[in-house]
Amino acid sequence: MELAEHIYSVLFVSPAGKFADSLLSLLSGDRFSPVVTPTDAAGARRALLERSFDLALINAPLPDEFGTRLSLDICDGSGTGVLLLVRSEHYPDVTARVSPYGVLTLPRPTTAATVSQSLALLCGTRERLRRMEQKTASIEEKIEEIRLVNRAKWLLIEQLKMTEPDAHRYIEKTAMDRCVTRRAVAEGIIKTYQ
């Protein structure tokens, strides 16, 4: 496994202020880019409609909602790593509510080191999710290929009165002889007989 540095896109949702400026300074351009900075949940939702993000940082409360609903919505609909920063008096209740859904929560005030460690954890989690998404896509492609090959086999059985083993062997041999995939052979058979 290679240890490569990745660049992560970030949605940073925060009302303006000194704390927001200090957090923004941690999102350097060499590791985090682009950094989109809406100041409320509505702006964040619009940004999410335009593109996906690797990470989302939400500095609650937001002007139009607290931020827990936004963090849950982001986790529910994507593989985005979410960090929710809340005032320390809200931390126990909020973390109990959102952590089962994969939202990482930090109490405010916090240190730059703690936020940096949390960002590193989110980046690692995002990479794990990315690898799982790739595996899932690969499995889905294989399942789709199996479905197509089976459809083609049944068409050969119906149209050319082949047995199932003969139809299977025909598809395999044709793919080898033509140096193409079984999927390509199956798609050709389907086009021919449907």
Tens of pLDDT along 140-173? 899 999 999 999 999 999 999 999 999 999 999 9
pTM surpassing 0.85? no
Separation of alpha carbons 184 and 36, rounded Å:
42
- Say whether the peptide bond before residue 165 is cis (omega within 30 degrees of 0): no
Separation of alpha carbons 137 and 3, rounded Å:
23
pLDDT in tens, 97-108: 999 998 999 999
DSSP letter for 35, please: E
Residue 116 CB partners (closer than 8 Å, separation 6+): 26
Strand ordering across the sheet containing 81-87: 32-36, 8-13, 55-59, 81-87, 103-108
Separation of alpha carbons 59 and 25, rounded Å:
14
Separation of alpha carbons 145 and 80, rounded Å:
29
